[in-house]
Structure 1
Amino acid sequence: MTTLLHLDSALFPEGSASREITAAFVEAWRKANPDGDVVYRDLAADPLPHLDSTAAAAGADDALRRELAAELAAADAVLIGAPMYNFTIASTLKAWLDQVIVVGLNAGRPDGPVAGTPVTVVASRGGSYAPGTPRQDFEFVQNYLEKVLNGMLGAEVDFIVPELTLAHSRPEMAELVPLAEASRARALDEAVEKATALGARLAAV
């Protein structure tokens, strides 16, 4: 049996591009893994406490950090909905990362329990921060998550990036609506394809 750890961090439950795409991923994952399990955390609806000095000093001896680290270590794959807020991730997702990353337990060692775990990140954003765009230097979602998830935990990180999600609600972006719709459609297709392929790959192990 395979386990998918699914995290959402979008503030609003309705109309969220990242939530729609992570839901499509989970649906395809369940079809590929009918006997599998999905562990879900909605970090917006049920936020974790920010890391304080007591928990930081305790490390793996802190009950919450130990629980979160064990949950992550037990996952065969991870799915993270990470919309961009003010050029970076939501503070709730940062709180999860600060709590779950414990140096010596799952970080800072090449043979850690998360090393090699596939992590798919749905990095939605209201505009475009792709290479060659005027705001490419303002992109701190993919850059940060790649470094922390791969660089610290050794996970295999893959991104699905729906862009221009604000085009329907911003008059000044009206001409970008077709591009936004195309980006969202591609992201949904990617989610299904990647979940199905990943599920089949892990089921064959």
Structure 2
Amino acid sequence: MPTLLHIDTSVFPGEASASRSVTATFRKEWEAQHPNGTVIYRDLAAEPLPHLDGLAAAAGFAAPDQRSPEQHAAFALRETLASELEQADTVLIAAPMYNFTIPSTLKAWLDHVIIVGRTSGAEQTTTSGTPTVVVASRGGGYGPGTPRESFEFVTNYLGKALGDGLGLDVTFVVPELTLARSNPAMAELVEASDASKAKAHEEAAAKAKELAARFAA
């Protein structure tokens, strides 16, 4: 049965988080198609990963039989995280915009799983082609032609890190204007916000069905 790797990163719980609510929609549909499938779940806000340190970084560039005992110990977490990514048939990532870019917890995950010569840096990596859905929620509007288009460092960064770096097949679902109902200054954007939210849930459900169908028995 297929395996879904689901990563949430929002600091807000449940329905208070736009990204979590949309990843929940995707996962619900995916599990409906594969009730006996495997889900590997990481909530990086509830259980943040340590930042990559020098020992773990150096270990990634050394052959396993050439690593010191300290490097072996430091590399253990990277091995676990990379293996989770490698065994996934589908990857689902919540990436809300915080201060124009991704949560630091997601960056820590990327630093651990990007291993040159294994998951990255080769023409064919151990993660090449894995379908990946990224829910890139944002409080305002940062799309093409908007005043803050140049401030958007979520989809452009993750497109490179996940797509070019890890070789994943990335699709973005983007609920935006998510602060409209809580920010009086955005009152005139509530309708657009609601429409964006509804579209994101529809896209997530449709993408889950599409990807689940690839692994139908």
TM bin (shorter chain): over 0.9
How do 1:46-65 and structure 2 match up within 5 A? 46-59=47-60, 61=72, 62-65=75-78
Query: Are 2:162 and 1:149 equivalent residues in the alignment?
Result: yes
Match for residue 192 of structure 2?
Answer: 179
Match for residue 67 of structure 2?
Answer: none
Measured on the aligned residues, the alpha-carbon RMSD in Å equals: 1.0
Match for residue 31 of structure 1?
Answer: 32
Structure 1 runs, 4 residues or longer, greater than 2 Å off: none
TM-score w.r.t. length of structure 1: 0.97
d(CA) in 1 for partners of 2:78, 2:216: 29
Match for residue 192 of structure 1?
Answer: 205
SS at match of 1:7: strand
Match for residue 125 of structure 2?
Answer: 112
Unaligned regions of 5+ residues in structure 1, if any? none
Give the drift of 1:203.
Answer: 2.4
TM-score w.r.t. length of structure 2: 0.92
d(CA) in 1 for partners of 2:31, 2:47: 24
Match for residue 104 of structure 2?
Answer: 91
d(CA) in 2 for partners of 1:121, 1:138: 19
d(CA) in 1 for partners of 2:216, 2:39: 14
Question: Which of 160, 165, 168 is equivalent to 2:178?
Answer: 165
Pair member with larger Rg = 2
d(CA) in 2 for partners of 1:199, 1:143: 26
Total equivalences in the alignment? 204
Query: Are 2:133 and 1:132 equivalent residues in the alignment?
Result: no
Deviations 1:173-205 (A, max 9, x none): 01100000000000001111100111001326x
Identity of matched residues, %: 61
Q: Which amino acid aligns with 1:5?
A: L
Give the drift of 1:155.
Answer: 0.7
Unaligned regions of 5+ residues in structure 2, if any? 65-71
d(CA) in 2 for partners of 1:28, 1:196: 7
SS at match of 1:150: helix
